[in-house]
């Protein structure tokens, strides 16, 4: 197995262009597990840990641009203010060791339906920045990035450079059901982001469909019927929960049944909307 070790982003793009079969390696918390269990044996690994710009984040163009190698620990320590939903999700990932090594870019690269970054990225309206040597930069809205189970819109010669997330303008929440409290893959998860300036609510569903996805009909319901100057109508919150559950396409597996996932998702949606709404009203 070849081990490619670029030290700049341009070298990394060149290496991926010349060796599209090379598997990128960031924190290695997915890749090394797969190698250890012999799930795959790639001809080459492309180690990105020596590319410093991948580990930095910055505010630019009204977005928080998070380098693909930024760890969950950094998101928690440095970005809980502007990105509370993503930071909440990051707090639920694995253990301290996994949060130190694992990255948001690696979560996107793996594109697992159960990845915890995806629901808050969808709810916030994030955009994924990918790049190839031959075709340059492509900006892919998170909602178009996930194509199937562990399949994304990334081409074989492309790398994820960063993810651009709009800073929160209203309350955000992430909630996850697991078979225990820590070190657990989500049975299902849900993220909500209130966008008061646009009178809009964003959603993200995790681990309850082949891909992470938005609950679009539920979002449309709130865009139509939510009165932003009044307490939350419990009947509206209930319908919101139902539509979120309907937006999912869960399966039965070792972690939970499809029926349980749909039910739990409805509860998470109603609950997170209520928390976010209460925060919004208190602040207003
Ligand atoms: C014990 C344990 C607990 C875990 N718990 C959770 C959890 O609670 N929630 C959760 O969501 N995940 C969890 N994971 C999975 C994993 O930690 C996350 O998916 C993490 O975000 C992966 O990041 P990484 O930097 O380690 O990625 P890596 O393992 O380095 O890479 C992951 C994938 O992304 C690709 N990739 C990496 N960087 C790039 C790039 N720049 N461009 C293109 N492709 C790239 C790789 O080729 C690979 O396919 C857990 C893993 C372990 C081992």
Per-residue pLDDT tens digits for 206-217: 999 999 999 999
Do the Cβ atoms of 117 and 103 come closer than 8 Å? no
Q: Which residues of 214-229 are buried (b: 16+ CB within 10 A; e: fewer)?
A: bbeebbebbeeebeee
Q: Is the CB of residue 171 below 6 angstroms from any atom belonging to ligand 1? A: no
Mapped onto helix, strand or coil, the DSSP state of residue 78 is helix
Give the chain's residues under pLDDT 50. Answer: none
Q: Please report the pLDDT score of residue 184 as a whole number.
A: 86
Q: How far is the CA of 106 from the centre of ligand 1 (A)?
A: 4
pLDDT tens-digit profile of 141-189? Answer: 999 999 999 999 999 999 999 999 999 999 999 999 998 888 889 999 9
Nearest atom in ligand 1 to 101's CA: 26
For residue 101, report the distance from its CA to the centre of ligand 1, in Å: 9
For residue 172, the CA-to-ligand 1 centroid distance in Å is: 23
Ligand 1 contacts CB of residue 115 (under 6 A): yes
**CA 209–ligand 1 middle distance (angstroms):** 19
Q: What pLDDT was estimated at residue 103? A: 98
Per-domain boundaries in the chain: 172-283
- What is the predicted pLDDT for the residue at 183? 87
Whether residue 67 has its Cβ less than 6 Å from ligand 1: no
Residue 154: the pLDDT is 98
Give residue 284's pLDDT. 87
Q: Find residue 165's DSSP bridge partners.
A: 64
Q: Which of 56, 44, 76, 42 is nearest to 9 (CA)?
A: 56
Q: What is the pLDDT of residue 155?
A: 98
Out of 1.10.1740.10, 3.30.390.50, 3.30.1240.10, 3.90.1150.10, which CATH number does the structure's domain 172-283 have? 3.30.390.50
């Amino acid at each position: 197995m070849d081990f490619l070790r670029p030290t700049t982003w341009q070298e990394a793009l060149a290496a991926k262009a010349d060796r599209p079969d090379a598997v990128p390696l960031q924190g290695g918390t997915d890749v090394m597990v797969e190698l250890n269990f012999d799930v795959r044996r790639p001809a080459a690994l492309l180690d990105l840990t020596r590319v410093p710009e991948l580990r930095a984040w910055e505010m630019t163009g009204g977005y928080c641009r998070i380098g693909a190698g930024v760890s969950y620990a950094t998101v928690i320590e440095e970005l809980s203010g502007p990105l509370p939903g993503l930071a909440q999700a990051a707090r639920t990932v694995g253990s301290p060791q996994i949060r130190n090594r694992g990255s948001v870019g690696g979560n996107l690269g793996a594109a697992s339906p159960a990845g915890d970054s995806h629901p808050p990225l969808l709810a916030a309206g994030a955009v994924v920045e990918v790049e190839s040597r031959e075709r340059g930069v492509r900006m892919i809205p998170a909602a178009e990035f996930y194509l199937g189970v562990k399949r994304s819109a990334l081409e074989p010669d492309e790398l994820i450079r960063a993810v651009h997330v709009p800073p929160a303008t209203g309350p955000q929440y992430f909630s996850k059901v697991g078979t225990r409290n820590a070190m657990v893959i989500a049975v299902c998860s849900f993220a909500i982001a209130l966008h008061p300036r646009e009178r809009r609510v964003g959603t993200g569903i995790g681990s309850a469909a082949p891909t992470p996805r938005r609950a679009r009909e539920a979002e449309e319901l709130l865009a139509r019927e939510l009165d932003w100057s009044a307490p939350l109508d419990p009947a509206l919150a209930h319908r919101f929960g139902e539509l979120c559950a309907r937006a999912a396409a869960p399966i039965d597996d070792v972690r939970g049944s499809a029926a349980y996932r749909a039910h739990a998702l409805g509860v998470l949606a109603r609950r997170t909307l209520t928390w976010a709404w209460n925060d919004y009203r208190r602040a207003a």
